[in-house]
Structure 1
Amino acid sequence: MIKFGTNGWRAVMGEEFTFQNVRTVTQAIANYFNERFSREDISIVMNYDTRFLSERFAMESAKVLSHNRIHVLFSDRDGPSQAQAYQVIKRNAQGGINFTASFNPPEYNGLKFSMESGAPAMPAETDKIEEEVRRLSSQGYSFCPYYPKNDYIKRIGLQEDYLSYIEPKIDFAAIRKSGIRVAVDLLYSTSREYLDEILEENGVPIEEIHGYIDPYFGGIAPSCTEANLAELKTFVREKKCNVGIATDADGDRFGVVDENGDFISQNLILSLLLDYVVKEKGWR
């Protein structure tokens, strides 16, 4: 049975996560949007990660949406979840669909449904989607292979806008002045040419590993746990870097290693960030 959790619907590909189920869930989302907005110019930002078949699942979903006269802004490559969220807000879209299973093992895929705020849909909304999925399934829903004109699906870039948005918020002069060297473990993820590029273009010396696509993520789950960052820990010491940073499959989780190759808890990093924004930025 298709169930949405806190970060969408996730399941093993070929078992529950199939093209037919993706079509059914997408039709349920289309019905939800058409009922909620009752307008002709509904638009959805479509994104996907580096997993096996993610882009094909995303395109099949886009075709179902276009059949329902919903405009799809389709990412021109895999991208981090937060880059998609920024486009939802910037383009005043009504929501987003992201094909990712985040930190789950390679055999999983997922569909993350977000609202016009760019944030993931809450249970009050996903419960409605689940109910509509059950209704469609009980009626034997089968997608009719007719697609409207291609102008309902438009390719867009996520990277340039997002990096331009966050770059002014970072004190790169202070980072350069510190003289630190950063090891970056991209874990074969959507952060390629995001995390590494923004550091390099702003004069921060980096050393990089796993900066290419591997749908099997090197045989491990693309999760920033201490066990999964064993290579980064060794790499930091070998390259004499001051810090190592890793991201998960869709770029919304992180891991940090210090200059000795010791893993630092994410809770500690978040506590330090909170302390900084309260004391230095005056956030309340």
Structure 2
Amino acid sequence: MTWQDTYQKWVSYESLEEHLKLQLAEMKKSEEAIEDAFYKDLTFGTGGMRGMLGPGTNRMNIYTIRKAVEGLANYLIKHTTNPQGKGVAVSYDSRYMSKEFAIETAKVLGKHGIKSYVFSNLHPTPSLSYAVRHLGAAAGVMITASHNPPEYNGFKVYNEDGGQMPPAQAEQLIKEVNAVENELTIPYLPEHVLKEQGLLHWIGEEVDHAYLELVKRLSRWTTSEIEQPKELNIVFTPLHGTSHDLVLKGLRQIGFDAIHVVQEQAKPDPDFSTVDSPNPEEHQAFTMAMEQGLIYGADVLIGTDPDADRLGVAVKDSNGSYQVLTGNQLGILMLDYILAHSTEEDRKKGRLIKTIVTTEMGQAVASHYGVETINTLTGFKFIGEKIKQFESTGEKFLFGFEESYGYLAGDFVRDKDAVQAAVIACELAEYWKRKGKTLLEALEELYELHGYYLEDMLSLTLKGKDGAERIAKIMEHIRLAPFNEIAGLPVTLMEDYQSLERINMKSGTKETIQLPQENVLKFYLDKNSWVALRPSGTEPKVKYYFGVSSHSRIESERLLEQLKAEVNHRVHTILES
């Protein structure tokens, strides 16, 4: 069918939801808007799907949700044991239509006789991951678009281990979703029938209690140390999302009481009305927290994204202003604290897991403590998959992180977890404060010991059908004509994760990369530097990652800026050609 045919199918469907009918009527004014909404089905990828809200097959609405759930139900019946008995855990964030989509999920699952465990109020992504494991569910669904703009929502699927599906499982699920022919006519059970038949269960506080007890056990403090008064002064913002209650409870149960919540951002708000972007990676998201930090004399500011899987931290610098730590910097501080307070036995069996675009300083710190590092592809699902493998290998998971503000220290959750990360970050800040140091000063000590590893990331947003084609053009061009040098530094090694080839640029020899396929290119340069390019799996962006290392901050900063400028120029040259 052409997009025009699909559009007519929707327009002529008499039972179409009323508000979607009104939006379709408004779209008649713009053929371009209609085409963008109908030219393809919303992509269901390895992590689920994410898109703008509205009518159309390329939008998030109850019909595209039903299609995704129909595919999930068929997948579970074919590929898992007793999904009807185990059920599916479902959670949702503060976005428009999130709770409605959660209920729609239960309605379609119920038609297949699969019960749903739905949180009675909005809850973070890590809560969903934990609930799947705690309840012994066959799968989990999280309704969220993470830190995307307000007009977005998403649908993420978790396997029975509580992690996002690895590629082999995801491919089977995607096949089932794509096999659903008509999203408008998928059968479902009304909510009252679900309740009558025992197919809808509301999750109360019991899951939170069990989760928080495990978060508390992550503390490196003794019982007496937890009971001691704390010196740390904290400002916390949930950025209008889901983390408010759990972060406060997590911090208070290990003795923190000087916690000042940014009240203007404490209440869930689907418009995220006080920020340009509800993303703690963006420094503007900390504006209000910084203002209140100065008022209260806070040592640290902590902020979580809407579904509370990412954590950002800002620290007061020597000038009295607040500096937002990068995801790599916070990860290194957490890693060093955890390994320094781990037993020798745990370190021998212990593993750090990080992604291929996360700082190489992680491996340097881990090696310092005798801990092995394992690299995975970008995406916490790969970290979760490795943790699962450790159950049979005898290896011990100590810490996992990625540069995009995702951290995990306890394996009772199998996705990044801003709640446990917030607790650990404040504990290590208290530790360093008692030593008379800020986190910035602690980080400087680590740089002096291991080298000045600096990283950065640039991204280019290219929306719509044309944007996707231009992103593909960038990656194809660089594959056909790889970089030989960048900013005067020769390329020594090229890794193509799509062809799974690692090429020595000097000798021309090749070896196979033992990881799943992904559309990523990584170039290793002289002077212990690297550059990687990767289209985002969840946003219309191509991202470029940079890493450098030297024994001088000034030298590392100079080299990093040269790499960024050179790659940015080359990418724009490709687009203009």
In 2: Cα distance, 1:248 partner to 1:274 partner: 21
Following superposition, the deviation at residue 85 of structure 1 comes to 1.0
Distance 2:322 2:143 in 1: 33
State which of 222, 228, 233 in structure 1 corresponds to 2:285.
Answer: 228
Range 213-222 or range 96-105, more displaced: 213-222
Contact 2:129 2:140 (8 Å CA) reproduced: yes
Conserved? CA contact 2:110–2:188, under 8 Å: no
Once the two structures are superposed, residues 71-105 of structure 1 have per-residue CA deviations (whole angstroms, 9 ceiling, x without a partner) of 11110111111111111111111110000000111
CA deviation vs aligned residue, 1:233-263 (integer Å, no higher than 9, x gap): 2221221111010000111101101133211
How far off is 1:278 after superposition? 2.3
Name the counterpart of 2:416. Answer: none
3-state SS of 1:256 partner: strand
What secondary structure is seen at the aligned counterpart in 1 of 2:180? helix
Partner of 2:48: 8
Amino acid at match of 1:213: P
Q: For 1:207-246, what aligned pairs fall within 5 Å after superposition?
A: 207-209=260-262, 210-218=265-273, 219-224=275-280, 225-246=282-303
Choose the corresponding residue for 2:85, options 17, 37, 41: 41
TM-score (norm 2): 0.47
Question: Which secondary structure state, in structure 1, belongs to the residue aligned with residue 291 of structure 2?
Answer: helix
Q: 2:251 is aligned with what amino acid?
A: L
Q: What are the Cα deviations for residues 127-165 of structure 1, in whole angstroms up to 9, with x where unaligned?
A: 22222222212x566122444542111001242222122
Moved runs in structure 1, 4+ residues, more than 4 A?
174-178
**1:53 CA drift (Å):** 1.2
Q: Which has the larger radius of gyration?
A: 2
Identify which range, 259-268 or 242-251, moves more after superposition: 259-268
| Structure 1: distance between partners of 2:100 and 2:227 | 40
Which residue identity lines up with residue 280 of structure 1 in the other structure? H
Read off the aligned partner of 1:189 and give its amino acid letter.
G
Code of the aligned partner of 1:71: K
Per the alignment, residue 133 of structure 1 pairs with 177
Which residue of structure 2 aligns with residue 22 of structure 1?
65
Q: In 1, distance between residues paired with 2:97 and 2:184?
A: 23
Instruction: Describe the shift of the 1:176–1:257 C-alpha distance in structure 2 as closer, same or farther (beyond 3 A).
Output: farther
Partner of 2:162: 118
Aligned 1:59-98 pairs, distance under 5 A: 59-98=103-142
- 1:179 aligned onto 2:226: no
Unaligned segments of structure 1, at least 5 residues = none
SS in 2 for 1:159: helix
> Does the 8 Å contact 1:106/1:220 carry over to 2?
no
Match of 1:32 in 2: 75
Displacement of 1:38 after TM fit?
A: 5.0
Indicate the RMSD between aligned Cα atoms, in angstroms: 2.0
Shift of 1:169: 2.2
**Residue 203 of structure 2: aligned partner:** 156
The range that moved more, 116-125 or 46-55, is 116-125
RCO greater where, 1 or 2, for CA within 8 Å and sep 6 or more?
1
1:250-282 per-position Cα deviation (integer Å, ceiling 9, x unaligned): 111011011332111121110111122223214
Distance in 2, matches of 1:43 and 1:145, equals: 16
User: Residues 177 and 60 from structure 1, CA distance in 2 versus in 1: closer, same or farther, beyond 3 angstroms?
Assistant: same
Task: Report if the CA contact (8 A) 1:12-1:109 is conserved.
Answer: yes
Q: Cα offset for 1:201? A: 4.9
Q: 1:6 deviation in Å?
A: 5.5
Partner residue, 1:267: 328
Name the aligned partner's letter for residue 19 of structure 1: I
The answer on whether the counterparts of 2:67 and 2:183 sit within 8 Å (CA) in structure 1 is no
Corresponding pairs, count: 283
Structure 2 residues not aligned, in runs of 5+:
1-40, 351-577
3-state DSSP of counterpart to 1:88: helix
Distance 1:133 1:7, change over 3 A: closer
Residue 166 (structure 1) aligned with residue 227 (structure 2): no
CA contact (8 A) 1:114 1:121 kept: yes
Tell me the equivalent position of 1:249: 306
Q: Does the CA contact (< 8 Å) of 1:25 and 1:129 recur in 2? A: no
Aligned equivalents of 1:221, 1:160: Cα separation in 2: 31
Check the 8 A contact 1:45/1:93 in 2, yes or no: yes
Asked if the contact 1:79/1:159 (under 8 Å) is kept, the reply is: no
Percent of aligned positions that are identical: 25
In the TM superposition, residue 47 of structure 1 has moved relative to its aligned partner by 0.3
SS at the partner of 1:101? coil
Name the CA distance, whole Å, in 2 between partners of 1:164 and 1:185.
Answer: 23
Aligned to 1:189: 241
Are the equivalent residues in 2 in contact too, given 1:233–1:262 (CA < 8 A)?
no
